[in-house]
Amino acid sequence: MHSIPCVRRSVVPLGLLAALTISPHLSAQTNEELQKQLAAERAAREELERRIAELEKRMTPSETDEMERQLQLLVEPGGLDQAATRPPSSPAFYNPAIGVIMDGVADAGNFDNKLGERSDRFSLRETEIDMRLPLSPFATGVGIFTWDNEGDNEFSTSIEEGYADIALGKMFDKDWDTTAKVGRFRPLFGRNNQLHRHDWLQVYQPLAVQNLLGDEGVVGEGFMFNTPLFHSGDEPGIGRTTTLNVALVNGDLFTGTDNAPGGDADAAGDPMHSQAPMAVSRLSEFMELGTQSDVELGVSNITSLDHDTLVLDSGQEVDASYWDADVTWRRRDNESGVGSWLVQAEMISARLDDNGAGVFLDDRRDGWWTTVQRQISPTVYLGVMYGESDTLDSTARQTGVSPYISWYADEFFRIRTQYDHLEQDDSTNDFSDAHRISMQFTWNFGVHAPHPYWVNK
């Protein structure tokens, strides 16, 4: 319970003040009259203290502190002037938490003549600035800005994410765990799409993500809501939570050249545009399998909300429908993490029906991948990824295997080495000897948001 010391200190001298006031008349008063007056003063003091105690019970700690501060200002010289210059109470008055993350990769191999990708070079492929600041008791502002290496000493600047993260329960003073994002963000479609480049488990995204979504997945602008539906088991090791995530975003999710559908349409000379929104949803079930193990299952969907959500330059409408199923299993052996396992698998099914325009194949295009990772020391992680994937604009089917090892010098510097072997079956362009070895250097300084719970480094 907080108190208001400045009020109570002013109450204590009341009897003395009264005594001094009546001192010229003490000789004319009897001892009995003086005792009555002192008793009255004592009763008045006790009544005032009682009222102060009742007031404290009704006030929150912050309100009590604020009243004490205001009363203190009234008795201090210049107090009212100081109150007039009080800074804003919103935390947005202060500087945001800023983190800088850089990612550089040295490649060697023959992916350049097999896939047209540039290799045998070092590239500072991305620099990211992450800024976060509480805006109010129920909202946080996030701005993430990136500089991507386009080659030939040129960089492009973009807003990777920029949104207000709102806790709706606090906003409406309700017992809700629902949150909302408003702005530009990575919608939850599967597991990997929410990750930024420096959080990937490998140097490059799995083949299914690259071929069906894009090199870095997809980014949308609009609204996203996340709410737990069911929860059970409050004791450690038996908890279960079912969560629903729904996003309403512009159809620009699939336009431009930064994603697979938009990039393929642009390469075909028939760029794609958006005229209506799309919906992205994910339903997941998280289950603890003990105090050191857990598993999460998820099902995701992307769908157009209107027949003209996506339209080619030629005027042909494109009907888009994506499905995803993912599973993540973890087991942690001890507090140091040595011996821990992480297993992930994901399957993506995509259909882009352009009604015969010839930009996309109208049938389903599928892909899947799995990765297994083990922590072999406090700072070293060893893993392997295997995946297969169709492409959106051809009959090519690619298969790849990528062993990798990651070493963390500390929380701010990581070196990862990865080998990629890729095979492709296509009626016009078969190859089976595409290979690449990469060394990735990732470093950051300043404040950085926490990794997703399942990312073991």
pLDDT category of residue 17 using cuts at 50, 70 and 90: very low
% of the chain residues with pLDDT over 90? 58
Which of residues 354 and 297 earns the better pLDDT score? 297
Q: Does residue 88 or residue 428 have the better pLDDT?
A: 428
Per-residue pLDDT tens digits for 33-67: 777 788 788 878 777 777 777 776 666 555 666 66
Domains of the chain: 5-84 (no CATH), 98-126+200-446 (2.40.160)
Query: Is residue 86 pLDDT above 90, yes or no?
Result: no
Lowest mean pLDDT among 85-99, 368-382, 407-421: 85-99
Q: Residue 170 above 70 pLDDT?
A: yes
pLDDT of residue 9: 44
Structure confidence by residue, pLDDT tens digits, 353-383: 988 888 998 789 999 999 999 999 999 999 9
Give the integer Cα–Cα distance in Å for 401 and 420. Answer: 6
User: What confidence tier does 283 reach under pLDDT thresholds 50, 70, 90?
Assistant: very high
Asked if the model's pLDDT at residue 133 lies above 60, the reply is yes
In this structure, which amino acid lies at residue 383? G
18-33: pLDDT as tens digits: 444 545 554 555 677 7
Give the mean pLDDT of the chain: 85
The confidence score (pLDDT) of residue 5 equals 44
Average pLDDT over residues 443-457: 75
CA-CA distance, 312 to 375, in Å (whole number)?
A: 47
End-to-end CA distance of the chain: 43
Of the given ranges (14-23, 292-301, 334-343), which has the lowest mean pLDDT?
A: 14-23
